[in-house]
Amino acid sequence: MAASTDEPSAFHAFERAGWESIPQAYQGAFGTLTTQAVGPLLDAARVGTGVRVLDVATGPGYVAAAAARRGAAVVGVDFSAAMLAEARRHHPEVEFQAGDAEALPFPDATFDAVVMSFGLLHLGRPDQALAEAHRVLRPGGRVGFTVWARPDEAVAFGIVLGAVQRHGRLDVPLPTGPPFFRFSDPAESRRVLVGLGFKEPDVVVVPQIWKLASGDALFEVMRDGTVRTAGLLRAQTPEALQAIRAEIREATLPYRRGGGIELPMPAVLSSAVRP
Ligand SMILES: C[S@@+](CC[C@H](N)C(=O)[O-])C[C@H]1O[C@@H](n2cnc3c(N)ncnc32)[C@H](O)[C@@H]1O
């Protein structure tokens, strides 16, 4: 979780290897969560019938499939062959292609809308990916992307990172990526979008609730269904990990509802227009 923008290539390779090995665990953990912001994301990018849409970092293809259901002409791209296999298996009606968000395999001005759901925070070069979105959009086209809100609002991250900070180490030897919560800051999103030549930047918060069985389940999905946070947990000593797990269990108690827990996990949704 270190905040540095060097080593983008090492970080890219680390993320790629990570996603290749967790497509099922990711869907089991996050499938009911990231899909809550899909409607607002597609609305922000004005996705409807006949709109040409690119879903970048499509993962299991949730956004691409929802765009197709709206009657859009959509392509989903991802750099993970394992994720693409899952996307194709679940959504055989949708077109998926291998591709890197930082070097999109499409000509200029190909799409009316480019969307990215919880992808930007996984990139070594997020500014480059947004420049690529700008390049493949036609004039008047719209970009839209979601990221997690800051950890004081996206409670699961607050609980897990707080537990690591108190019982383990945040400065573990992993390839350093850009700050995980950089685009959670509306001012930073607007600054980057305008700097890349977009106009009318808009940033809104989309409420989401993560329903899990227990605090132990939260620990396990972070350990098994993520890349950067999983790397952080794997790098702790066994003693620290035990203490982290216990604190997560304890810290989720105030969120008990019915037989499980319900954690607020808002998304920050940014959108803008290519002039
Ligand atoms: C958190 S998942 C998001 C999946 C999906 N969009 C969703 O909302 O659930 C991140 C996805 O980004 C992909 N990804 C990460 N870096 C990428 C890159 N440089 N180019 C293309 N895909 C990338 C991963 O393979 C993974 O499928």
Q: What is the pLDDT along the chain (275 residues), one digit of tens a residue?
A: 444 445 789 999 999 999 999 999 999 999 999 999 999 999 999 999 999 999 999 999 999 999 999 999 999 999 999 999 999 999 999 999 999 999 999 999 999 999 999 999 999 999 999 999 999 999 999 999 999 999 999 999 999 999 999 999 999 988 988 999 999 999 999 999 999 999 999 999 999 999 999 999 999 999 999 999 999 999 999 999 999 999 999 999 999 999 999 999 999 999 999 99
Q: Could you tell me if the CB of 146 is within 6 A of ligand 1?
A: no
78 vs 100: CA distance, rounded Å: 6
Decide: 19 in ligand 1 pocket, CB within 6 A: yes
pTM above 0.75, yes or no: yes
Q: For residues 32 and 61, what is the distance between their CA atoms, to the nearest angstrom?
A: 13
Cα gap 238→219, rounded to integer Å: 14
Ligand 1 center–CA 254 separation, angstroms: 32
What distance in angstroms lies between residue 19's CA and the mean position of ligand 1's atoms? 8
| Residue 243 CA to ligand 1 centre (angstroms) | 31
Task: Name the closest-CA residue to atom 5, ligand 1.
Answer: 59
Report how far ligand 1's centroid is from the alpha carbon of 119 (Å).
Answer: 5
Q: How far is CA 143 from CA 37, 51, 97, 167, in A?
A: 15, 13, 19, 40
